[in-house]
Amino acid sequence: MKIAIVGYKKEERLSQGVANDEDTELIIFLTNKGLDVFPAIWNDENVDWSGFDVVVIKSPWDYHNHLKEFLNWLERVENLGVKVLNSVEIIKWNSDKHYLKDIAEKGLPVIPAEYLKKDSAFSNQFFDLFKTDKLVVKPCVSAGAQNTITVSKDNLDERSIEIEQLLKEQDYMVQPFVEEIKNGEWSFLFFNGKYSHCSLKTPKQGDFRVQHYHGGSISYPTPEPLHIEQAGAYLKSLPQSTLYARVDGVLINNSFHLMELELIEPYLFLNSDNNLLENYYQALTSLIS
């Protein structure tokens, strides 16, 4: 069985601060386990996707900048009869942050959000709606905090002009700024629905973005069993199992609240740990056997 581990054409800005080449380490581990795995770039025209039995979507970190092309490529691969993990259905749904509305409607704790359609106007109504003095505005299709900005009542006029320019490009979402993000964003990693490990990403002083290329730091605390259970509830709401899932959120009054459900290309924090790589291997083999 021939397996593609799919990545992207490398960009320094997206890999800056990442200590491990996670894809290479994963491929070496899986190869040593006896699997026939190969790295491949999703938009490399020289790749013959029909030659693979399984395509694992691992790190196409530029997909959000080429969404239509990426989704069309996924459909072409699926139409070849190749098994795609995570599934094309799941990836399509997860590619637009409107999915958070679907999860919230199932009664699970999600940071509240309102949505602005492309070419619509931004107003100050959201401060009253969310009962807050500070908002976060982000694209519905994005990754890595791209074009994510904060808006306060003090800088509303300036930010409104910027937001209306951004709204000419695509839909956006508006959320209350969650002060708990200063304590860090928890990432719970699950493989085939089974909890594996977690990380805590903390923004640098004076920032709210937790990504390493924005100066965030990463630690690996032991989470409370309650929070693992709460994070796992989001996966149970999905219509099908996933090879990998990263459940990102914050603790509010000691309860986990979802910020993002990462089902396309999350960094997995495997950190050369054979136990964690084994967890991934076991999940993969169970889904392709």
Question: Are residues 239 and 32 in contact, defined by beta-carbon separation less than 8 angstroms?
Answer: no
Q: What is the rounded average pLDDT of the residues 26-51?
A: 98
Q: What is the 3-state secondary structure (H, E, C) of 56-106?
A: EECCCCCHHHHHHHHHHHHHHHHHCCCEEECCHHHHHHHCCCCHHHHHHHC
CA 213 → CA 19, 183, 200, distances in Å?
A: 12, 18, 15
- Specify the pLDDT at position 170: 92
Query: Which CATH number, 1.10.3720.10, 3.40.950.10, 3.30.70.1150, 3.30.470.20, labels domain 99-109+180-267?
Result: 3.30.470.20
Question: Are residues 182 and 163 in contact, defined by beta-carbon separation less than 8 angstroms?
Answer: no
Helices (H) and strands (E) in the chain, counts: 9, 13
Alpha-carbon distance 192 to 173, whole Å?
30
Instruction: Break the chain into its structural domains and give their ranges.
Output: 2-92, 99-109+180-267, 114-177
pLDDT band with cut points at 50, 70 and 90 for residue 210: low
- Helices 22-32 and 274-288: crossing angle, nearest 10°? 70
Q: What is the rounded average pLDDT of the residues 222-236?
A: 97
Pairing of strands 134-139, 172-176: antiparallel
Q: Is pLDDT of 147 > 60?
A: yes
Q: What is the rounded average pLDDT of the residues 72-96?
A: 98
Instruction: Specify the range with the lowest mean pLDDT, choosing from 133-137, 139-143, 239-243.
Output: 139-143
Q: Is pLDDT of 212 > 90?
A: no
Other C-beta atoms closer than 10 Å to the C-beta of 34 total 9
Q: Which amino acid is at 254?
A: N
DSSP code string of 16-71: TT--S-HHHHHHHHHHHTT-EEEEEETT-TT--GGG-SEEEE---TTGGGGHHHHH
- Specify the pLDDT at position 14: 47
Alpha-carbon distance 10 to 33, whole Å?
26
pLDDT band with cut points at 50, 70 and 90 for residue 217: confident
Q: Residue 9: is it exposed, middle or buried by C-beta count within 10 angstroms (0-12/13-18/19+)?
A: exposed
The pLDDT > 90 percentage for the chain reads: 81
Q: Which architecture, in CATH terms, is 2-92?
A: 3-Layer(aba) Sandwich (3.40)
Dump pLDDT digits (tens) for 69-80. 999 999 999 999
Q: What is the rounded average pLDDT of the residues 154-160?
A: 88
114-177 belongs to which CATH class? alpha beta
- Specify the pLDDT at position 13: 46
pLDDT band with cut points at 50, 70 and 90 for residue 208: low
Q: Which of 19-28, 143-152, 190-199 has the highest mean pLDDT?
A: 190-199
- Specify the pLDDT at position 123: 86
Question: Are residues 257 and 9 in contact, defined by beta-carbon separation less than 8 angstroms?
Answer: no
- Specify the pLDDT at position 200: 96
Pairing of strands 194-202, 185-191: antiparallel
More confident residue, 257 or 144: 257
Helix (H, G, I), strand (E, B) or coil at 191: strand
Q: What is the rounded average pLDDT of the residues 203-227?
A: 77
The pLDDT > 70 percentage for the chain reads: 93
pLDDT mean across residues, the chain: 92
Alpha-carbon distance 104 to 125, whole Å?
21
